[in-house]
Chain A
């Protein structure tokens, strides 16, 4: 710690250097103790028994099944969000109808609702006692449904502000030149929305990969069938297989990191175009 602090104080800064260095030192120490050292410990532990052990931990039949299910379901959910999120954002910005403000507020509910409650409410409507007669409990469809619930706001909330800023003059110009509504959408509106749509989708994907609480109740956690990676990881921790759990954690961290780097690249691409 002290080394980092002194290394920074010798550099010229705009403000009194002592304040910056002390503040930075405290912030880095806090982050290190709570976030960075524990995460580094996970990665370190995963490699402790060598790459062979790492590979075997990740490819045990149940872990592998959980990982592929998680990535597959997350990709599917990300796609659903790409389409539905854009539709909802469109309706919220361009349409006027009674209840629109309520819809706009309610979209954020999955961010505020505890994930275990999300799983429970879905199970109430789509479980064995479903008043609709639809039972998705203990099925992969149930897992997808839970992931759709928790990721709903991401694409809506990234596309909505872009759509609000979008000038309608270009659309009017396109329409006056004889473009049909769909053509206007595809040629004029869509190119402006794509960066936001993709970054929202990447966020939804990252969230879905990591999801735990909402899938616990509705999936029944059946290995090889409905067990997602985070739940598999949880059972390995409970079974004291720490090194195996660390290996799966590392895979999840890497997948999330790749998705976030992709997101960063997409955002730069978007801002360069804008």
Chain B
């Protein structure tokens, strides 16, 4: 009896909080067939928003992947004072509100700050432009790759790397032939999480982009702007596209997730 009540409570809660709202928006988007959906997403503004989103997310994922693997190797394979502090700093972005991230970047890289002014005199505009949006996205997604790779590196141990080293392999060879194959699933998992977070970032990008339509407007900003301008079909279509990306991400992470938790039963 109690078992069934708990099951019912859990299912109803998730149904009404999560499943029905998402299903409703997908249903409303495709209510009139796929035509209006495709039409709404191929308007010049929507296509431009796609392009900006992919550019920003692409750079952010590259940066965070390189940093993530490097930082994970540093945290697991090296000893140095302040290691715990470095780990804490890497986790810090998780606790910062996206709007605070935007403000923080404006204060340092905005036109009226010393650094931002200097960069602008060199012809590099950061805030209200792509570099600032990339910085904001890198900030919010920073810990994801590191946190995906660290546990697997710890589990692998460094015996194989040591062996390769003794046999005369260079550092790069050891990394490419031994370390990288060992962490590839975890790395894939981290990259997928990072990509999803980057594609979906809203708050931080809203602040640093200046929300210039057809210039710095990403897909998430497009959703908000279209909705506020009473263009529901376009807002719903873009939201559905983002929701479908999220569902694909979810299934991918399910495939790539380190399997430690599934055989606990």
Contact = CB atoms under 8 A, between A and B. Distances in A.
Partners in one complex: yes
B71 A27 contact: yes
B80 A11 contact: yes
Interface stretch (B100-108, B147-155, B180-188): B100-108
Given A13-B78, A242-B103, A242-B107, A149 B25 contact: no
B243 A121 contact: yes
B227 A217 contact: yes
A26 B199 CA distance: 26
A216 B107 contact: no
Interface residue tally of chain B, by bracket? 35 or more
A42 B18 contact: no
Nearest to A108: B250
Given A15-B78, A106-B18, A121-B24, A95 B3 contact: yes
B218 to A, nearest CB: 10
Chain B CB within 10 Å, residue with most, of A93, A121, A125, A230: A121
A112 B249 contact: yes
A39 B135 CA distance: 13
A252 B98 CA distance: 11
Contacts of A110: 18
A229 B206 CA distance: 16
A116 B70 CA distance: 32
Contacts of B73: 23
Contacts of A115: 200, 202-203
Contacts of A212: 97-99, 202-203
A230 B204 CA distance: 11
A252 B100 CA distance: 8
A113 B99 contact: no
A237 B202 contact: no
Given A120-B239, A237-B99, A20 B104 contact: no
Given A230-B98, A242-B103, A252-B100, A114 B242 contact: yes
Interface in B1-28: 2-3, 6-7, 9-11, 13-14, 17-22, 24-25, 28
B239 A209 contact: no
Contacts of A88: 10, 13-14
Interface residues of A, number: 86
Given A38-B104, A113-B22, A164 B261 contact: yes
Interface in B55-81: 67, 70-71, 73-74, 77-81
A109 B100 contact: no
A122 B19 CA distance: 10
B138 A116 contact: no
A159 to B, nearest CB: 12
A117 B96 contact: no
Contact of A116 (B90, B101, B220): B220
A84 B202 contact: no
A91 B24 contact: no
A99 B22 CA distance: 18
A229 B97 CA distance: 10
Given A42-B107, A114-B223, A237-B103, 17 more contacts: A14-B79, A19-B171, A27-B70, A27-B71, A27-B74, A84-B13, A87-B9, A95-B6, A109-B247, A112-B246, A114-B220, A117-B243, A152-B14, A165-B264, A213-B202, A233-B99, A256-B95
18 contacts: A14-B79, A23-B74, A30-B67, A31-B86, A34-B135, A42-B104, A106-B18, A109-B22, A110-B18, A113-B243, A115-B200, A120-B239, A124-B236, A210-B95, A234-B207, A237-B103, A246-B103, A256-B97
Interface of B: 2-3, 6-7, 9-11, 13-14, 17-22, 24-25, 28, 67, 70-71, 73-74, 77-81, 86, 89-90, 92-109, 113, 135, 138-139, 142, 171, 196, 199-203, 206-207, 220, 223-224, 227, 235-236, 239, 242-243, 246-247, 249-251, 253-254, 261, 264-265
